[in-house]
Structures are given as C-alpha cells and as structure tokens.
Structure 1
Amino acid sequence: MSGFAFDRDGVLSYVALGDSFSEGLSDPYPDSAETPHGHFRGWADRLAERLADEVRELRYANLAVRGRLARQIVTEQVPRAEQLQPDLVTLAAGGNDILRPGGDPDQIATIVDQGISRLRATGAHVVLFTGIDPEFQPVMRPLRGKIAVYNMHLRAIADAHDCSVVDLWAMRVLGDARAWSWDRLHHSSEGHRRIALRVCEVLGVDPGADWREPWPESPQVAWADARRADARWAREFLVPWIGRRLTGRSSGDGVSPKRPDLAPLRVSG
C-alpha cells in the first residue's frame, strides 16, 4: 500500500460512504441539537474534524445512509463519489448483508470489489474497514465465521487496489460493552471516538490520543439487572429489527445523506 499523502497548505476533499456505521448512529452531537448536517456525529465526522486541523481547507461529504446493503452503496453512493472526485474516500459496507439470513461473504465481496475498482479509477485514496470480532456478543457470535471470511476478502481487495485497511477485528477495546450503544449494534460516542483515532493512525495523521487506552474499572452488573437489560433490548430493538427484515423494510427508508455535497467543514467549539 503506497500510503496517503496530502498537501498541508492546500485543500483536501474527503467523502465517506456506507451505512449507519459511517453515518454515525448513536453518537449524537454534544448539545443534542439538530445541526445543519444531521443529529449524529460519528467517527467519520470526527475524522473530518481532525483532518481539518491538518490542511488549509477540508471539504467533506458524507453519503452514508443507515440500513444500506453493499449493492445499494455501490449503485447509489459510489456514482456520486465519482462525480465529486475526492482525494480520500472511506468505505464501510457489507455489515447489513452479513446480518441477513443467507448473506454470502463471497458475493458481498464481489460487489464491494466492483465499487472499489471504480473509486480507485478516480485517483482517490480508499480506506476499507474489516468487520468487528463479535465473539463478545452472544447473539452475534454465530456470525463470527462469516465475518472472518469476509474480512479476508476485504484484505485481498485492499491489496489488489492499493487501499488502506482499518482492522476493526483487531481493536480489542471494541469488545467492551461501553464501546456500544444500548442497541448493541451501533457504536457509542466513545466507540466512535476510538475508531476515528485509529483511522487517523492508519492515514498517518497524528490522532492526538491513544485508541488503545484501557477502559476504566466499572462496577459489576447484577444478574437480574443484566437480564432486564436483555429483555428491554429484545423488546425495543431485536423484535422491530426482525419485523423490518420480514417485511422488506429498512431503517434507512426515507433517509437522505446528511452531507450530500463536498463543502468546507466548519468546526465549532
């Protein structure tokens, strides 16, 4: 991989593609108010904020939409990224496909490979993300083998197209429940913060902090409290999620990208 280089005195353009992971779900902005570009921040916004400190001007677009499958990302978002002609693209895709019954990591990888080929043809530097290791999540643990196979495909794609890889599987700090929101599928604000630090590291940008920092000690959760949390999770998230899968609906129905155009990033506070 040749690495990512940029002119610190120039303009850098960055486009984020993907699903809820890149949209930033479960990481609200600190004031919890609706911003001109949406309520959620996420690792991609955090990365853009850090990059903005490194260059004269950072132009940023985020085309990610929750619930999107790999084919939707390639057919809906990649063409727009081709039009924008950015210097840097991050693409995280395939997670929603893997979660679905019958999701084939071989087929998903073929779709993603097609998208990466198109993005690299524009001259953009592309960053890919492996899937996380779900060993710590009992409900997701049966998918561990499929995710591992898909990760190997992603590494082969990255090698073939000279892309960077953010290895989420190796980020053991994400195995802590505090890296996840209550729905156990999207990252918490702290999880997003640590991922942004890791992406900076992969790109050769000083992250300003260490994503490996150990979690502070936490009190032991009583068995009864843990079971009540499980019941709430099943009632408020798992059942509705299954219902959407059975009816062909998506959490992203009617949702538009929060930053559809490349625009200068204004960092406040």
Structure 2
Amino acid sequence: MAGLLVAIGDSFTEGVGDPHLHYPNGVRGWGDRLARQLGRADPAWRYANLAIRSKFLDQVVADQLEPALAMEPTHVSFYAGGNDLLSLRADVDGLMGRYEAALRRLTGSGAQVVVFTAFDPRTSRLLEPLRRRVLAFNDGVRDLAATHGAVLVDHAALREFEHPMLWAPDRIHMSRHGHKRMAAVVAERIGVPHTLRLRDLVPHERRPWRQVAADEATFVRAEVLPLVRRRLRGEYDGDRITPKWPQPVHPADGMKRLAASRATGPVPGRDLQGAGSGSEQGS
C-alpha cells in the first residue's frame, strides 16, 4: 500500500558518499534509491528528504522533525547522532535521552518509523574511542526501537559492510555500492519489493603490513586530520546547503527528471497529490 516516506537525519540519509551530478546537492544515496523503488512498486508513493550533512541530533530535531510530521507521513526514516559521537566530548547517555524524546514524538504520530544503528568502525585502531561510543549508541537504539515499536535496521549487524567496496575513502560514509545495498535492506524491512541489482562482494586479499601502515598514514593525512581541523574551527558543510527534497514528490516521475524540474517549475501534467508514471534507468 502506497504512502508518504519522509527521511530525516544527517549525511547518512542525505546520501554523502554516493555522488551524482543530476541529483540535488550532488548526491543520490540510499533514500533516493529507495524512493525510486517505492515509485516502481506503486506510482502513488510520495517521498521527501529533509536530511542535511553534518547536522547534530538537536539540529535534526529542531529543523526537521516538525516539518516532517506536518506532512502527515505514513513512514519516517530517522537517523541522527552520528555527528554527536564524533565530537571530542560526547555524552552518550544524554544523547540517548534526547534521541528517545524525538523517537517518541515520531512513533506517537502513527507513522511507521525506521531507525538505524551505526556501523562500528573496525577499520582503524585510531578510531577505537569512537567505536566505544558507537557500541553504546547502538545498544541504546536497539533498546529504544523495541520499546517504542520502531522498525530497526541494525547496520552494525550487517557484517557484509566490512567490505571496503561499500565505503567511501573517508571510511565514515557509504560508497555508491553501500548506499545501494542499504536501499535494498530498508526496502526489505518495510515490506516493499525492489529490483536493485547488488554487486557480488568478491573477497578482498589481505595486504602486506607495510601497505597497511602506508594506507593508514595516508588516511590520517587525507581524512582524519582535515576532519579534526574543521571541527575545531566550527566549520560544517551542512551550513551551506538546503534539503534535497523539502516537499513531497512522486518518485514514479523519475528522480532525475524531478531534480531537473526544480529549476524550471512543476513537472508537466502533475501536482503533488496526483499519481502518474515515468521511467528511469539505472537504480
């Protein structure tokens, strides 16, 4: 049965790591990929995505929660807190208390709410302090999902995501293949058929220790240190962008076509409440 999916959160839901020039903000992501599958399953499905990269939990709640609920969605995806965990001083207990208040508000609306654990970063010993926070966050999300009747996508339990092909170079955001796989997982969790073709994950060979050490040094210089510097300066990419899909659209019209129409006006022959068809290749 068709409905309205509203996605709220941060870069995980906006789609960072899955670049695409023809999509708003230059990224596609699992949310847009899932939306296309919803439109194929039933052209009456509608979709909005309010997520913005680098936002903290309190910012997601303040800026996105009420606008999302005002749309009267049948389904809401909610992921926030990852950027809080990256802070130098993260109060996980306090974070989970605020997370629960937001989750209670969402589930109280009657919408089916989908929540996510965070994938724990086992790729570098440098990230071990972050991993401890992630484990505590994930335990909290699991408990709260069970308590409040939310649909849980336990990303941390999907160990196929240990494959490096599913991650962007920063090791924090999923790659195109990772977002595509996540779209398939969420579709299955909410009972929507999909036609996503997932690439086989060929076992990756173990690298010599010298190569591992060299790669770690490169990773620290290229990704970790710039992130720390930006955080210390209070610079956040999300301060300069707007939501990708702030109003509901019909994915059946074709996501790239809808993106192009934002600059020129409404899609011909359609309004937000109507139903229609369209085709788009390459999901």
TM-score by length of 1: 0.87
The aligned counterpart of 1:235 is 221
1:206 to 193, 210, 216: 193
Amino acid aligned to 1:263: V
Do the aligned partners of 2:56 and 2:80 also contact (CA within 8 Å) in 1? yes
Higher fraction of helix: 2
Q: Equivalent of 2:122, from 121, 126, 135?
A: 135
C-alpha contact 2:118 2:155 (8 A) present in aligned 1 = yes
Aligned to 1:97: 84
Equivalences for 1:161-172 in 2 at 5 Å?
161-172=148-159
1:25 aligns to 2:16 (yes or no): yes
Structure 1 residues without counterparts, runs of 5 or longer: 1-6
Q: How far apart, CA to CA, are the structure 2 residues paired with 1:205 and 1:263?
A: 18
**Which stretches of structure 1, 4 residues or longer, exceed 6 Å deviation after superposition?**
none
Secondary structure at the counterpart of residue 113 of structure 2: strand
Instruction: Kindly provide the amino acid, as one letter, of the partner of residue 142 in structure 1.
Output: P
Shift of 1:218: 3.9
CA distance in 2, matches of 1:98, 1:138: 16
What is the aligned partner in structure 1 of residue 239 from structure 2? 253
Matches within 5 A, 1:127-206: 127-206=114-193
Rounded to whole Å, the distance in 2 between the matches of 1:141 and 1:83 is 40
- Over the aligned positions, Cα root-mean-square deviation in angstroms equals 2.1
Contact 2:79 2:116 in 1 (8 A): yes
Q: What secondary structure, in the 3-state scheme, does the structure 2 residue paired with 1:46 have?
A: helix
- How many residues of Structure 1 are paired with residues of Structure 2 in the alignment? 255
How many angstroms does 1:57 deviate by?
Answer: 1.6
Q: TM-score, normalised by structure 2?
A: 0.83
Partner of residue 34, structure 1: 22
* 1:123 counterpart SS class: coil
Identical aligned residues as a percent: 34
Going from structure 1 to structure 2, the CA distance change for 1:222 and 1:174 (only over 3 Å counts) comes to same
How far residue 68 of structure 1 moved from its aligned partner, in angstroms, is 0.5
Range that drifts further, 231-240 or 241-250 = 231-240
Q: Distance in 1 between matches of 2:247 and 2:63?
A: 14
Q: Is the 8 A contact 2:5 2:48 kept in 1?
A: yes
1:26-58 deviations in Å (ceiling 9; x for gaps) = 1123xxx333x3321111111111111222322
